Amino acid sequence: MTTKLVIGMDGHQSGGRAVDYAKRLAELIGDCELIVAYVIEWSPFSFQTAEENEQRHKRREEEIATAMERVVDPTVKALSEAGFKARGVVRHGDVAETLNAISKSEGAEQIIVSRASDGGFANRIFGSATSNLVMSASVPVTVVNQGDEK
């Protein structure tokens, strides 16, 4: 049975630390699939006209395409070229809730994110969102801290 790990990407250098950790873990596990996940912060709560909602939907689709092209696809390609089973997913929503939902729907064993001081997940997920992810996730969450690279 294949073990699945969700890697929460932030589009910054800190996401690379989460990927590096996931690669080391996947090597230890053996039969493992890495799911590269990028969450675009998006609140469903908005009161707009029908025209604004149509434009909002178009904007959401454009944001997904941009995130796939700039963050997810290059990461998945690099992982695949390094011999790992990998695929990507981009979703809109609350970061903690969405990463947890992805892990549930994928049947993942773990969520891996990284912490940075230069933005990314530090601003988006650390604080109450990190607490929410760590405290409410259906699977263990590994937080890779900023530090010296090996």
CA 108 to each of CA 50, 53, 60, 62: distance values in angstroms, whole numbers, following the listed order: 37, 33, 26, 27
pLDDT tens digits along 13-68: 667 889 999 999 999 999 999 999 999 987 666 667 778 777 888 888 999 999 99
Residue 18 lies in a domain: yes
Q: What is the mean pLDDT of the chain?
A: 84
Residue 76 lies in a domain: yes
Q: Which residue segment(s) compose the domain that 84 sits in? A: 8-144
Residue 1 lies in a domain: no
Among 3-12, 13-22, 76-85, 126-135, which range has the highest average pLDDT? 76-85
Residue 149 lies in a domain: no
Q: What is the total count of domains within the chain?
A: 1
CB 34 within 8 A of CB 83: no
Residue 47 lies in a domain: yes
Q: Residue 74 belongs to a domain with what CATH number?
A: 3.40.50.620
Residue 2 lies in a domain: no
Residue 3 lies in a domain: no
Residue 57 lies in a domain: yes
